[in-house]
A and B are shown apart, each in its own frame.
Chain A
Amino acid sequence: METSADRKSRLFGIESPLRRSVDVERLVDAGANGFYGGLLDPHETLRNTSLSHRQGPFANFLNEEDLGIAVEKAHRCGVSFHLTLNARLLVLEDEPRFLRQLDVARALDVDGIIVSNHPGLLLARERLPEAHLVASLNFGIMNAAAARTLAALGVRRIVAPRHLVPEEIACLARAVPEVEIEAVIFNVKCAYHDAFCGYHYDSIRGKDWTNQGCTAVADCRVPRMRPTACGVCALPLLAGSVSVLKVVGRDMNMDFIARDVAFLDRLRTLLAEGCDPRDFPRQARTLYREHFGVSCGNDCYYERMHP
């Protein structure tokens, strides 16, 4: 007989950001089934370009030792770790660094690599043919045919763009069962498609890692970045279709991330126990208030499909 735990694991996995090994246990305890994170070369200076989309020390492991400990701990807990090599753009001069990080990934027994463009994907496939390759948001895969082109190149999981609505994500997941589909559920809902955005906040006025004002346009009719958006009311639509739900915010406070993961796990339990999908949003809001101590702010990650 299927237990609630079995049903939970069938619904979706929870992917959490990780940047220090000390956080592994508490995030696993909170309900994380997988981790993702980047690695900085400790000799990089502040003004170097990073191989990771989220740059800087607050978003990445500072050294290989700590990453190695984190991966080992994660494996001991039965949880996977994916290394992010998802800088939006790769230049020729950075290829040796990219390859070196792939070698580190192999040496540390990392489970998979998250890439964000074709050159990165091709390099990772060549160097680590056995790796679980994940195509990040930056590929902008919005339809099944595009997903199949990546599957043909060895991609095993695709992160659905933030701007698809849950119905579209679920359709995409059903249309390409050969690829796992991952969707974002918490935090950092940008106004623009990651894949089609040319803003580069690292290049503005010489500032590093501050993207405030990235989309702060003067026209109030234009959508803004929403750093703490929440998409849990869409869970009944996503659960069972997507393989993994992702909590984003690699550079956010890990206390907040752990709280988000724990909340998502509680909702997963609620769904596994057979909660009526129509009543789910109401129950989710009640749980939100109980979990976070404040009412839901109606800052919804996902909008609904137009009828």
Chain B
Amino acid sequence: MTEHALFLDAERDLDGLLEVVSGDGTWIVGRGWDRIYLGSETCEHRLVGARRLERAVTFCTWQRVGLTLVTPPLTDRTLPVAQDRVRRLPAGTEVVVNDWGLLETVRNAGCKPVFGRVLNRMVRDPRIEPHLLSEDLARLSRRSLVHLPRMQAFLRQEGFVRTELDNVVQGLDPLPPGSLPASLYFPHVLVAIGRHCGSRLATRCPGRPCFDSFTSVNHAGLLFDGLASFSLRPTLPPDLLPLSVDRLVRTVGPEGIDWLTRPVPEDSWSRVHARRLGDAIDGPFVDVVDDTILGAVAQNASTVLEIGCGTGTHLKALTNRGVRVLGIDLSTVAVQHVTRLLGSGTAIAGNFLDVEIPFSSDAILDLGSFHAVHPSLRQAWMARMRSLLAPDGIILATWFVRDPRLTPEEPVVLLQGRVPEWGFTETELDELLHPDLERVWTRVLPADKDSPARRLMILARSGSHPPAARVVAKACEERLAMVESGPPIPSSDAVVGQRVPSSWLSTETERKIKKLGFGVTDQDRQANGSLVLVVKAPDGGRIHLDFVRSESPVPHYRVLGPYQVAYQGEGVRLVDVDRLLEVLEPILRTQPGNP
């Protein structure tokens, strides 16, 4: 049985939680939460205040849910404060320890120490592409400190009762037999902690609000909350048992628990679209609904309504085919953009439930809106969709597939770290569909790195069998086949044609390299004077070397004659690399442009 914990920031979330509960005495239990995590794991200035902690203890006792106090890494200035909080807890309370200096206090207070995820070293890099890793690195990246039996034994000896894991993109290996039970954090994966809140040094708290930003690192989404950065991993591992995971810890991020209590504020969507328009994110998301599918829609529809039209990519494709379109979006930023793009009257800013829509549509597109509607509004939304559909019309939809292991109301995705999207299980979807609507075609698109599985569906009025459904379904099948087979790979001729190889090795050097057992497969001189060399190694591996000329030291480059060199490759022995570089050094000194 998996326990569900909700991780709250004391300052930001506790009042909201108490407010909700005051209207419904069984709020927590009734909604599937078994435990509250309270505190901060990353910032010493976000320790729980004494009074708030007392309120939380009372609240959890009243609600009969567990309480876990979460503590961050601590300096000598804040350690006494954390120690004071621990001593205020009833004996037996769990404390997540993320600093070795607090452990003794936790034990002395009769509390149960948990080995926090901050202390549990793991590779948490959101940029990892597991299929590109060597066997060694892949293994390393799926382990953590607590994967070592020696560490497990040490933690037991030190009195720890539980360990914590992150839901990393590359997945995790099973913990060794007899391991302590583990908690898995979801969906925020803790990537790194610094000591700056944005650009402000945080030896003391530089002031609220904490720095909060959604950005990217090498094309991977990154959410900053105070001193820490997180990536978002919305998919849980298929099997929690081998990981010894018996508890899921739901993190809420800088937006707090608003998603539990009320619909998303409209400006949240505007912020999402403003960021998209600013081109700050270029993640790996592949829009499944492309020209092939939209072309099929346009063949069979003279009017199309798109709910959640965003910045109008689909509307534009339809307009180009002469279809009359109308887009609706909560984001005024997005709608202004569409209006600029397609002319006035093509998009309306507002809530789909409230805006006036002048016509019924042959096709309604909902490519990711309904799954973001607050659960309290779903029925009304579905009814409105049905009422706006022409008799022979179709609804083309992509909605997230919901993991049934989640608690009933928690979102499956936090878009850009802040906008919740819920998704539906198969049963939920059947229950939600208007009695007059049926699914005529459905495919489940598998989860990828940043996104859970999605359902691509065509809905129509029950028993209507519109011809458009058959045509669009066929286009969808074609498109999915293309997505599954991956992007077209350019032929080797095309690749070669883009480059102009120019040799810089002398025949004599090439001969020496060959004598070492290497074979030169490519060499090039770049416009900026940098040199490239690709060689086949004696053991069959390959190595790619970059030689750059720079006055100042380039980190992780090795100085070799007038150049600095870095290389990458596999299956090459280091001693052979060293021999290769010895041979190359003299010829680097003779290159044009050298001082």
Contacts and interface: CB of A to CB of B under 8 A. Distances in A.
Interface of A: 40, 42-49, 56-58, 62-63, 88-93, 117-119, 122-123, 138-150, 163-165, 168, 171-172, 175, 188, 191-193, 195-213, 215-219, 221-223, 225, 227-228, 249, 251-253, 255-256, 303, 305-306
A92 B570 contact: no
Nearest to B42: A196
B132 interface: yes
Contact of A200 (B75, B128, B144, B150): B128
Interface stretch (B4-12, B21-29, B571-579): B571-579
A68 B306 CA distance: 72
Nearest to A90: B148
Nearest to A215: B217
B148 to A, nearest CB: 5
B148 A91 contact: yes
A283 B122 CA distance: 44
B75 A255 contact: no
B317 interface: no
A16 to B, nearest CB: 16
B578 A123 contact: no
A204 B552 CA distance: 25
Contacts of A89: 121-123, 140, 143-145
A91 B99 contact: no
B101 A208 contact: no
Interface stretch (B188-196, B440-448, B506-514, B586-594): B188-196
Given A211-B556, A217-B215, A200 B199 contact: no
Contacts of B571: 45-47
A188 B556 CA distance: 11
B215 A203 contact: no
B555 A227 contact: yes
A146 B204 contact: no
Nearest to A194: B192
Question: What is the interface of chain A mostly: helix, strand, loop, or mixed?
Answer: loop
Contact of A163 (B194, B204, B541, B578): B194
A47 B136 contact: yes
Interchain residue pairs A-B with the least CB separation, the first 8: A198-B124, A145-B101, A146-B101, A47-B134, A219-B215, A196-B193, A163-B195, A192-B192
Contacts of B141: 200, 203
B543 interface: yes
Contact of B217 (A49, A118, A143, A216): A216
Contacts of A252: 553, 555
B56 to A, nearest CB: 25
A44 B570 CA distance: 11
Contacts of A216: 217-218
Contacts of B194: 163, 191-193, 223
Contact of A222 (B147, B151, B224): B224
A251 B558 contact: yes
Contacts of A192: 192-194
A20 to B, nearest CB: 11
B150 A123 contact: yes
B125 A203 contact: yes
Given A49-B137, A196-B73, A217-B222, A149 B575 contact: no
Given A91-B143, A212-B556, A45 B101 contact: no
9 contacts: A46-B543, A47-B136, A58-B557, A117-B121, A122-B154, A145-B101, A145-B104, A192-B192, A221-B199
